[in-house]
Amino acid sequence: MLNNLLRTSIVILAEAEQTGPFTAEDFVDKLFPSGFLWGAVTQILAFLVLILIVWKLLYNPVKKILVKRQNTVEENINSAEIMREEMEKQLAESEELIKAERQKAQALVAEALKQSEKAKEELIEQAKAEIEIEKAKAREEIAQARKDAEEEIRSEIINVALLASKEIIGREINEQDSERLVNDFIKDMTN
């Protein structure tokens, strides 16, 4: 049935176009040689042998090449994925190191500020202590100068009083009398 349908369609096509080098009969004979059954079986066997040869010579090597290529691509993808993960891990570690170093730097700056503030306070305290020491020395010097001046004034007063008492009394006064006169004079002056 299929054979008849093909013959009919080819004959119709061939009749429509008779100008070619082949006639419809030639074409049909080429497709379906005489002794159709044996020719068809031969063609089918030849086709199967051709498929087997193509299968062995082309399909398996091409399949092996494609599988090898697929494996290579998968390995490349896996290694790229592993490298990406490692790079992300290293990036995270680097960011953590940078963060830790920034914290250390901030701690060092804070410590330096504390130390400079402490040194400043120590210098201020030391300057205050030196000022107090100098004030104390100055007070002592003033007190000593005052004592020295009072002693000098006292001895001058005693000398002046002795001379004045000699003039007034006309006689010599002993040391006890002059001491008493000077003390009385000093008491009168301080009051």
Query: Tens digit of pLDDT for each residue in 129-172?
Result: 999 999 999 899 998 988 888 888 877 877 776 677 666 665 55
**% of residues, the chain, pLDDT over 70:** 68
For residue 153, the tally of other CB atoms under 10 A from its CB is: 12
Domain coordinates of the chain in residue numbers?
Answer: 2-83, 141-190
d(CA 149, CA 142): 10
Structural contact between residues 128 and 152, judged by C-beta atoms closer than 8 angstroms: no
The pLDDT score that the predictor gives to residue 175 is 67
The pLDDT score that the predictor gives to residue 80 is 93
Lowest model confidence (mean pLDDT) among 19-23, 73-77, 82-86, 100-104? 19-23
The pLDDT score that the predictor gives to residue 184 is 75
Q: In the predicted model, what is the mean pLDDT of residues 5-27? A: 60
